[in-house]
Amino acid sequence: MKYINRNQAEVFTKVHQLVINIIFRDLDIDSVMDKLNDLYQSFMYHYEADEGLVYLKPIDIFFRNAQRIVGDQYPDEVIWEHNNVSELIDILMYYKREVERERSVLIYQERQNKKALDEYITKLTHHYARLLFVRIDLKYAQGHDQLITIEEFNEHINKLRQLIRKQRACFKDLEGYAWALEQGEINGGLHCHLLLIYDGSERQKDWHIAKEVGEKWVQITKGYGAYYNYHEPKNKRRYQQYDRLGIGMIHRDNELEVANARCTALYLTKPDKFDQHLKVKILGMNTFGKGRYRTSNRRGLPPITK
């Protein structure tokens, strides 16, 4: 684990936003200068020129061009002034089309994920008379999040996915699932939006299940994890008041429940959440996943032929 006043996720998020603002929002030079002097040393501390890591375009172009300007200076020796800041701004503006292209690709991917998830949820809600929808956000406790790197986040998520696939303990009687990895827009907190769909004839206690899953996450992260349980009674009452409750027991013959459950699920794949994409990933790392509908053990379906 790495120790510095600012965590990796927060620094990359702030630098990413700075580059976006420079390219698309025409920041004044004094504002950019202040932010660069505030962020540059921390950024260089966390940045790894590793072939196994993939950075979003704004992070990548910032590193390459800032390095070009400052040359061989150590990060703690660099002072950003009007001349070098102006040069960096001019260079970054040349990348506007590349950044726009990357954004279009990410939006397209989210739309494809949304389409696939919608089809998956529709098949499940048509197939089962009742399903228990459980939503939980998995994150890191305040004060511990600064110690977590993308490598450790990936390791924790992989352990969680293995437990889901094995369907033991709090994942028993699971009929479907989906997850999405994101970063907070402001401080870049790494987190996972998790949807678990249980056989409603076997499982009923949604709050209890969500709590069990959250505690399992804390265990996986060796105490660094935290979670948000959407199934607290006050939360459910608030959504129920406006006929928008899409978690808990969902009955196939109740159109409103099914429609709300679909909306709850599709939140994981909103195309407009561009600023919440991971700023750095491990090569080959997925940021969205879901279960398969056609499996050999799903009852009521014709056997899968080879």
Q: pTM value? A: 0.90
What domains can you pick out in the chain, each with its CATH number?
Answer: 8-102 (no CATH), 111-290 (3.30.70)
Buried b (16+ CB within 10 A) or exposed e, 92-115: beebeeebeebbeebeeebeebbe
Section 51-66 average pLDDT? 94
- At 223-280, the pLDDT tens digits run 999 999 999 999 999 999 999 999 999 999 999 999 999 999 999 998 777 778 999 9
Does residue 85 have a pLDDT over 80?
yes
Quick check: 162 pLDDT over 80?
A: yes
Model confidence pLDDT, tens digit, residues 136-147: 999 999 888 778
pLDDT at 144: 80
From residue 56, how far is each of 12, 145, 182, 282 by CA, in Å? 10, 21, 13, 12
Contacts of residue 2, Cβ cutoff 8 Å, sequence gap at least 6? 8, 45, 46, 147, 149
Which pLDDT score, from 0 to 100, does residue 1 have?
42
The mean pLDDT of the chain is: 91
Q: Report yes or no: 114 and 266 within 8 Å, Cβ to Cβ.
A: yes
